A and B are shown apart, each in its own frame.
Chain A
Amino acid sequence: MTNEYIQQILSDKFGAAVWGFEETFGIFSFNIKPEINTAVLQFLNDEASLSFQFLTDLTAVHYPDRKDEELCVVYHLHNLVANKRIRVRASVPVAQPDIATMTNLFSSANWMERETYDFFGVNFTGHPNLVRILNADEMNYFPMRKEYPMEDPTRTDKDDEMFGR
């Protein structure tokens, strides 16, 4: 199973809704439209020549500068038999971060989606129990978003102009 084969079969099936194929540090990655995440992951799972049936990791990344696709949900999938890993990214706007849950396909997605909701506020529609998992229940913001800095922004004694983000 080569990268070209995966790219070909996905492009044939989903057309322009799948794009940005690249290999970064040994993992073949691509972007998909968030509306078709269930269809793509189901297809990757069912298609005998692909069989990406193991969900290694599910998380999100917040890119505040990307207009209307600020929150990027990242799936790491693994075909254990062929020992091939891929990364699937689906970006949603931070104003309305809705994406379908993958819990029907992977039981492991349950807590990983809860964690992603907890820290980024991604709304996994259809999730059986989308509540906070690591943070306190009464928290009313999503702490891993970039607008929440680590340090108190009102402090003046720690000037990071020279060193630091």
Chain B
Amino acid sequence: MAEISYQRASCVYEGADKLAVDSLSLDIEDGEFVVLVGPSGSGKSTALRMLAGLEEIDDGTITINGKDMVGVPSKDRDIAMVFQNYALYPNKTVGENMGFALKMRGVPVEERKRKVAEAAKVLDLTDYLDRKPGKLSGGQRQRVAMGRAIVREPQVFCMDEPLSNLDAKLRVQTRTQIAALQRRLGTTTVYVTHDQVEAMTMGDRVAVLRGGQLQQFSSPTELYDRPKNAFVAGFIGSPAMNLFTTPVASGGVSISGATVPLPRESLNLLAAAGLDTVTVGVRPEQLELNRDGTGFRATVELVEELGSESYVYARNTGVPLTGLDGEPVIFVARSGTRSPARLAETVTMSVKPEGKIHLFHPTTGERIGD
């Protein structure tokens, strides 16, 4: 049982001119499953390793149950970690791997055996206890790594991309197993991934990091519905949100000559900020193709058929709009029907009447309005 608190915690790698983790503040509640997500180099693994004691806390502090962890070696933090490559002891059997931490703690052999057997039963590893890790499949090794963590009944689980070495199908399966196991054990868990689907499906709350800085820390639905800035908006969701910078017109924003209306309060905010351009975000499912001519015209470049739904990728006609990276934007619209458009066809796209339009400051990327 543990509450974790990062208080302006920073970490810098030797020789680097930038902080790997920059004044990170997070309050993680007891029993919570928190996912740290971000692109590579965002500092998510470093943040986790700081909690685990594998990386120094150079500034600020991290507390577990109010106890300051600065200078406490990892062996004394009572944290179990699942590594990306599992880091199983190759010279020990599965049973010895799982029981190693108990052995280190001086737990008697009999009790150790019982606990390992219990964990093995939960993870379906009973038949493999006498094998060496080298003789196991990837999925089995992953479960041994999990077993090594749960057998100790630690205060905190740290998981560093534990599913990235599994194939796609097994990953989805194991994802639900880990989430279910965590709910059952109720152990506070910090989980690192670069996969936003994992983040959305597993976490009670998700912290999005970028360049060592926290972008947003909230529930998955909140991240999806109210991203705090354009980066989070573009990072969460697949396919990504359509984000483009466009001029403000009277009554709305202009896309390729067509005006998309905005609610009055949004217009007031834009006027108050004195902005004549704005970064607009629309999720693919809020964008629709129509043939009656309302909306902006676009040329279809790709149609992805997923069976239950399809995605249309199209480029607006006329002057191309630019996205966050300064490149011309390719719009993505989700469609519930099969073959909604043909390649190279010109269609009109519009925001659905009930569709939500996110507005972000064109230079800072901060969210404007609700």
User: Is the pairing of A and B real?
Assistant: no
Interface residues of A (CB under 8 A from B): none
Chain B residues packing against A (C-beta within 8 Å): none
